[in-house]
Amino acid sequence: MLGILLMNAVSFKFGLVPYLNISAGGSENWLDWTVGVFGEVFIDQKFMGLFSLLFGAGVMLFIDRAAARGGRAVLLNLWRNALLLLIGLFHFLLRDGDILMVYAVSSLFLVAMRKLSARTLIVAGAGLYFVPIASDLLLQSIADSNNAALAGIWTEPSGDIDDLDELLRLGALSGYFMRGLGMILMGAGLYRLGFMSGKMSPSTYRRVAIGGIGIGLPLAALGVAFVAINDFSNEVAFIGNIPNNLGAIPASLGYMSLIVLWNQRPDNWLKRSLRSAGRMALTNYLMQSVLGILTFSILLSGDTVNRAGILLFVLAVWVVQLWWSKTWLSRFRFGPAEWLWRVATYRRWQPIRRA
């Protein structure tokens, strides 16, 4: 959730286009370019992949716990994610780029497939994840053959966006959905295997970390280099994403392995703070949007801000959220948004204050 802010913060100030194309805005000097390239290689799609893997695991965990209590686990989960869809709709009104609606809809597919074996879920998820690679090739071919401006996707629109660019944008967004759903299914399968709960040997996690990061990050760097060599032209707007998307699965698994290994070490203040921020992921995700809009759309609406300045905003939000999450949970059992979601899910009052 904290890593996702590194990418989302760009859209708070500049919108979708500079989020996708680092040459389209906010890159004024070498430091800005360093921040942009770092985000593309180390952050983009990888932390969203982590978030999606954990969401898939969370759905399975919720169903298992509800079933153990003798409740109507599937219906309760469907109602819970219908509420998440509603939260996502309100969040979408606040800013374009919500991920909660994708997760809410994806949960329907996961619930339908929940009885499949762990291996089947992982294979199906990986298959769905790679479908947009073919669509990227198709979208690039359509864009090139029609000399599309890619307004609102790769270039800033100078006026109304035509129908072709809207269609291409819809195709690109559908790719995000497919990749999100694929990661969610993989997360459910990995949960079944006990991968996320540290049940495998340390050597397994070390191998996955080394192999995943060793494969994923170079692929992402290759994608950035390919786009840069082609001067960020429209001819590579879609196919330039393919190396990064290919590398996102191994890199996300590598990152998760490092987290599992670190979690097995003795507690310290940073780990406790991060754990608290994670337990309040919904609250913190929504608050990141609120803080981003207040900062860039209101307080700094008329000021020039580049990517390095956005990085300072991100670091400040990290400090605030790590501090306030730990402070809040020392007094309360749930974050504010998590508590409201829990009350609505069970349709009865839930105690929030710690004894």
pLDDT digits (tens, 9 = 90+) for 256-291: 999 999 999 999 999 999 999 999 999 999 999 999
| Domains of the chain: total | 2
pLDDT (average), residues 87-98:
89
Residue 33 lies in a domain: no
So what's the pLDDT on residue 68? 84
pTM: 0.93
| 30-48 per-position pLDDT tens digit | 999 999 999 999 999 999 9
pLDDT (average), residues 73-81:
92
> Do 302 and 163 fall within a single domain?
no
Q: Can you tell me the distance from the alpha carbon of 328 to that of 110, in angstroms, rounded to the nearest whole number?
A: 32
Please say if the pLDDT value at position 299 is more than 90: no
Nearest Cα to Cα of residue 60 among 116, 3, 126: 116
* Lowest pLDDT segment from 19-23, 50-54, 71-75, 113-117: 71-75
> Do 132 and 196 fall within a single domain?
yes
* Sequence-separated contacts (24+) of 232-237 with Cβ below 8 Å: 232/21, 232/22, 232/23, 232/24, 232/154, 234/143, 234/144, 234/148, 234/149, 234/150, 234/154, 234/155, 235/140, 235/144, 236/140, 237/20, 237/21, 237/140, 237/143, 237/150, 237/153, 237/154
> Do 238 and 333 fall within a single domain?
no
| Domain housing 101 | 45-265
> Do 72 and 157 fall within a single domain?
yes
Which residue type occupies 188? Answer: A
> Do 247 and 277 fall within a single domain?
no
Nearest Cα to Cα of residue 297 among 11, 13, 7, 55: 13
> Do 137 and 185 fall within a single domain?
yes
Residue 38 lies in a domain: no
Please say if the pLDDT value at position 303 is more than 80: no
> Do 277 and 212 fall within a single domain?
no
% of residues, the chain, pLDDT over 70 = 100
Phi, psi (5° rounding) for residue 175? -65, -40
Final residue before a domain boundary, out of 231, 265, 299: 265
